[in-house]
Structure 1
Amino acid sequence: MDDEYDLICVGSGIGGCAAAAAAADAGARALVVERAQVVGGVTAVSGGQIWIPGNRWARALGMSDTAEEGARYIDGVAGGNNDPARTRALLGAADGALDLFTGRGLDLRVIRDLPDYYYPEAGHSAAEGRYLEPVPLPAGALGEWAGRLRRTAVWNMGAGTPGGGTADPELVTGQALAGYFVRAALDAGARLTAGTAVTRLRTRDGAVTGVVLADGREIVARSGVVLATGAYDRNPDLVRRFEGVLDDHGTGSPPGITGDHLGMAAPLGASIWSLPAARNTVQVGFPTGELDEDGTARYRTHWVVHPHEIIVNARGARFADESFYPAINAGLHQFDGASQRLPNWPAWLVFDHDLAERGVVQVDPERVVSAPSVEELARRAGIDADGLAATVAGYNEARARGRDDAFGRGERPWSLWMSRLATGTGDGNPTLGPIVRPPFHAARLARVQAGLGSAGLEVDTSARVLTWAGEPIPGLYAVGNATARNDMGFSAQSGTSNLRGMVQGYLAGRDAAR
């Protein structure tokens, strides 16, 4: 590693590698600095999807869509939390980014029949075509870096589904996407280094001129520094500050996602913009009983896409369509003004032995209680016994009817697609399986972040970090989950975080290389 580069990118996920690739492709000397011993960041543990309206692969299949249609869809579902101009700037730059990265080997394909989250009720939503996934990538394509790509699995939909497996010589989902961008950066001539932590920014007369490493070494950046560090899932103080009090809280993000970008940029007067915490998608899931590489508890999300399971509150009542995780998130944030409490938290996953035998509930066994009857299960778990018995009976009746009149579970096209994928069932509504086979089980849910924070650094349409006065801080860029989500409002779609990282990285790298 030399002492001087044109652009230094802090973080090796899609955003950092995209910025380095874009800058190096334009002739700049670029360096990617990763604090972990492995590369890929949160991208590598994601589902690997990129959501791009009007993309070239959909057009090749004869699908009619545009970036403007996608922007109008976001306008409608973002709840007023997006800046329409930023939304259009982001989506409008996607084609240019794809031109560069496909030229550097990125290979994507349409995920067939997968609709937008809010299709068909939301205006300008699409039945398919906007979701892209990486074509599997041979690990050998990364050369010496193949063994240093992060392998952690986060998402739990069941064995054999996206995010549910482990790495092999052919990379898929998030590992493949991260691998493509690591390869693009290397192919363009950027330098990567892992196991190297940046502790602060080097500045001169208010401009960012480089970075200072943990060992005290200073590296000069002639054109600027890109903060691609992710959010702050593993910083309890920042989680409490921006997300509120989340008892029983963990993260599926890898170690190192500690909000370094905020600590480095704040002293320079950087603007920090935040969504209402209730609009941020914090998943539900469990500690697995395993430890991450830093010795902290490992968590996994749990998506209710199988039969024989429901989510209930302490009264034993269901409160949302469990097959659609944004509905669960909204239900958990319901507030009772009379009691000044959240009536749906804590919450439990309740399931029967049919589901237990499938092995899809990946939870620390010490967190599970079991009983021969639903009533006894409730008493052991601390749930109202009469309430849970009535809820299970009502749910089983809904299964017999083939329709959940209370919450419409499994009827949303997106949820139905995900459930059929997870269960391998080609028709019907596979999420509606009865809870009848003893012993019965309950596991108290945890809140599990997945790399998304309510707060981030405010940037302009070139990914330059802004001050509170709205002026760019010379030489400082931020991309992906390190930035404020006022372009998309909130995580209205899976795949938007990877979209933001790719496009903002492209814009930052190109701007810095001018």
Structure 2
Amino acid sequence: MDDEYDLICVGSGIGGCAAAAVAADAGARALVIERADVVGGVTAVSGGQIWVPGNRWARELGIADSAENGARYIDGVARGHNDPDRTRALLGAAGEAIEFFTGRGLALRVIRGLPDYYFPDAAHSVPDGRYLDPVPLPASALGDWAGRLRRTAVWSMGGGLGPGTGDDGPSDPVLTTGQALAAYFLRAALDAGAQVMTGATATGLLTGDGGVTGVVLDDGREINSRAGVVLATGAYDRDPDLVHRFEGVLDDHGTGAPPGIMGDHLRMAAPLGASIWSLPAARNTVQVGFPTGGTDEAGEARYRTHWVMHPHEIIVNSRGERFADESFYPAINAALQQLDGASQRLSNWPAWLVFDQDLAERGVVEVDPERVVSAPSVLELARTAGIGEAGLASTVARYNDACARGRDDAFGRGERPWSVAMSRMATGGGPGNPMLGPIARPPFHAARLARVQAGLGSAGLEVDGSARVVTWVGEAIPGLYAAGNATARNDMGFSAQSGTSNLRGLVQGYLAGRDAARRLAGT
């Protein structure tokens, strides 16, 4: 690698590769720096969805929608936590950004029958047409880079649900979901002439009279950049101090994000006076799950999220009480943040997944005695697990009555259209409520849950309409950009809407690359 480029993009997910592709397409010399030995970042382990109101694929299907309609939906759900102008800037630029990349090989399709999270309750929500996912493509489309794409098995939400490709696929496996999305954007960057450096960690920013002028690597090497630097590092899942600062509870905490998501963007930009903006933690995407017993490439515990609820299981707090609609993870996360002011304790944490042998035999949760408590009766299960006995017995009885009636009057489990659609995609469930089934067949089981982050943070760098990082007084820091999960979510106001993170990375990367190219040209 050389010692000077026109644009340096830190992070090889959708945001970094998008920025590099746009800048390189305009003639700039662009470099993508990735701290891991594989590329794709959090994008490659995502579901691959992109949420785009008013997209042309939906129009081709005769679905009427618009970017403004989507912005009004966000305004209503965000409840004042979004900046409406930034919401409209993001969604308004989405069509242009996507057209740029489809003109350079990106292939997308509508995920049919998948409604907005808050349909039909939220104004301007729609039952279909806003979710796009990548058309599968062979790994060989990446040429020599095919073996260097992050390949963590994930689940496809389009074209028939099925497992993504892992490391043991055929010689030319078909990439789906987030792997496919990451591959499309990596290919766009490479085809445009951008270079990619792996195994290199940026630890600081170089500055001069013109603002940010490059990066410092962990080995002390300096790489200069004429037009600036794009921070597309992801969030901070792997840094316990930052998680504690911005997300709260740390006990029984894990992440589905790959190693290296350490909050590098905050450390590099903060000394320059960058504004760090944060949502309430209850509005972030944190799911529940449990450790698998295995470890990841960094030697840390690997976690499995439990985001689709099945019959024969419930989630309870230490009193043995259900506290939210288990089929809708935003409801679970918000309830886990509920504080009891009298005791200064979280009312619903810790929490347990309680299930019976019917679910155990489906293999949904492995009954590992190191992580799962089992007992012949509900009362004995409560005593063994340390859950309130009377509360759990009463809760199971009420839940079983709800199953017999076919309706959960307490929390409406299985009635939200998005939850039902996801459940049927994941489990193949038929008509009726696919998530109700009694906890009746012994032995009974309880697994203490962990809070599992999804590569998203409540806090991030505040950016303007050109993805330029701004200071606390709203002034752009010359030559410093940010994209995707490294940025503040004041354009969305919440993170609980699938596909918005990939949308933000795509659009902000596009805007950053375009602005950097114009800056280079002096226009």
TM-score normalised according to structure 1 size:
0.97
- What residue in structure 2 maps to residue 144 of structure 1? 144
More displaced 10-residue stretch of structure 1: 101-110 or 417-426? 417-426
Per-residue deviation, 1:224: 0.7
- In the alignment, which residue of structure 2 is the partner of 1:286? 290
Match of 1:73 in 2: 73
Q: Could you say which residue in structure 2 is the equivalent of 1:299?
A: 303
| Aligned residues of 1:13 and 1:39 also touching (Cα < 8 A) | yes
Separation (CA, whole Å) in 1 of partners of 2:269 and 2:249: 25
Q: Within 2, Cα distance between the matches of 1:265 and 1:255?
A: 21
Task: Check conservation: 1:154, 1:299, Cα contact below 8 A.
Answer: no
Which residue of 353, 356, 361 corresponds with 1:352? 356
Which residue is equivalent to 2:521? none
Aligned with 2:461 (options 457, 463, 485): 457
- Give the direction of change, closer, same or farther, for the CA distance of 1:309–1:165 in structure 2 (3 Å limit): farther
Contact 2:165 2:174 in 1 (8 A): no
* Of 244, 260, 265, the match for 1:240: 244
Aligned to 1:123: 123
Counterpart CA distance in 2 for 1:248 and 1:13 is: 28
Structure 2 residue 218 is matched with structure 1 residue 226:
no
1: distance between equivalents of 2:364 and 2:322?
Answer: 21
Deviations 1:277-317 (A, max 9, x none): 22222111111111111111111211142111100011111
Instruction: Judge conservation of contact 1:5–1:222 (CA < 8 Å) in 2.
Output: yes
Count of aligned residue pairs for this structure pair: 512
Q: Which residue does 1:22 correspond to in 2?
A: 22
Q: Deviations over 1:210-256 (max 9, x none)?
A: 11112222111110100000000110111111112332111111000
- Identity rate, percent: 81
Q: 1:57 is matched with which residue?
A: 57
Cα distance change, pair 147–262 in 1 and its aligned pair in 2 (3 A): same
Partners of 1:491 and 1:497 within 8 A in 2: yes
* Contact 2:137/2:174, CA 8 A, preserved across alignment: yes
Does the C-alpha gap of structure 1 residues 90 and 163 become closer, same or farther in structure 2, counting only changes over 3 Å? farther
Alignment-derived partner of residue 215 in structure 2: 211
Is the CA contact 2:142–2:187 (under 8 Å) kept in the aligned structure 1? yes
Whichever residue aligns with residue 50 of structure 1, its letter is: I
**Given the superposition, is the C-alpha separation of residues 304 and 95 from structure 1 closer, same or farther in structure 2, using an over 3 Å criterion?**
closer
1:114 aligns with 2:114: yes
In 1, the alpha carbon distance for the partners of 2:135 and 2:95 equals: 18
Residue 310 (structure 2) pairs with residue 311 (structure 1) = no
Call closer, same or farther: CA 1:161–1:287 in 2, change over 3 Å. Answer: farther
Q: Aligned partners of 2:456, 2:401: CA distance in 1, in Å?
A: 37
CA distance in 1, matches of 2:455, 2:367: 20
Between stretches 96-105 and 299-308, larger displacement belongs to 299-308
Residues in 1 aligned to 2:329 and 2:162: alpha-carbon distance in whole angstroms: 16
Change (3 A) 1:284 1:14: same
In 2, the alpha carbon distance for the partners of 1:61 and 1:50 equals 17
Distance in 2 separating the partners of 1:197 and 1:24: 22
Residue number in structure 2 paired with 1:249: 253
Contact between 2:164 and 2:177, CA under 8 Å: does it hold in 1?
Answer: no
Corresponding residue SS for 1:7? strand
Q: Deviations over 1:335-356 (max 9, x none)?
A: 2222222111100000111211
Provide the C-alpha distance between the structure 2 equivalents of 1:134 and 1:255, rounded to a whole number of angstroms. Answer: 24
The Cα of 1:426 is off from its aligned counterpart by: 3.0
Distance 2:165 2:145 in 1: 21
Q: Which residue of 2 aligns with 1:489?
A: 493
Q: Structure 1 residue 86 and structure 2 residue 86: aligned?
A: yes
Structure 1 runs of 4+ with >6 Å offset: 154-157
Partner of 1:376: 380
Partners in 2 of 1:457 and 1:243 — Cα distance?
16
2: CA distance between counterparts of 1:165 and 1:400?
Answer: 39
* C-alpha distance in structure 1 between counterparts of 2:507 and 2:313, whole Å: 39
Match of 2:33 in 1: 33
Letter in 2 for 1:476: L
AA of the residue aligned to 1:269: G
RMSD of aligned alpha carbons: 1.6
Equivalent runs, 1:306-345 vs 2, <5 Å: 306-345=310-349
Of 176, 188, 197 in structure 2, the residue corresponding to residue 184 of structure 1 is 188
One-letter amino acid of the structure 1 residue matched with residue 64 of structure 2: S
Equivalent residue number for residue 509 of structure 2: 505
Secondary structure of 1:93 counterpart: helix
1:263 aligns with 2:232: no
Quote the Cα distance in structure 2 between the aligned partners of 1:364 and 1:449: 23
Of 410, 414, 433, the match for 2:414? 410
**Is the CA contact (8 Å cut-off) linking 1:305 and 1:323 kept in structure 2?**
yes
Tell me by how many angstroms 1:126 deviates.
Answer: 0.5
CA contact (8 A) 2:165 2:175 kept: no
SS at match of 1:116: coil
Deviations 1:324-381 (A, max 9, x none): 1111112112222222221111000001112112222268651111111111111110
TM-score by length of 2: 0.95
Matched, 1:96 2:82: no
Of residues 474, 477, 480, the one that matches 2:478 is 474
8 A Cα contact 1:289 1:364, kept in partner: no
Structure 1 unpaired stretches of 5+: none
Q: Distance in 1 between matches of 2:137 and 2:366?
A: 27
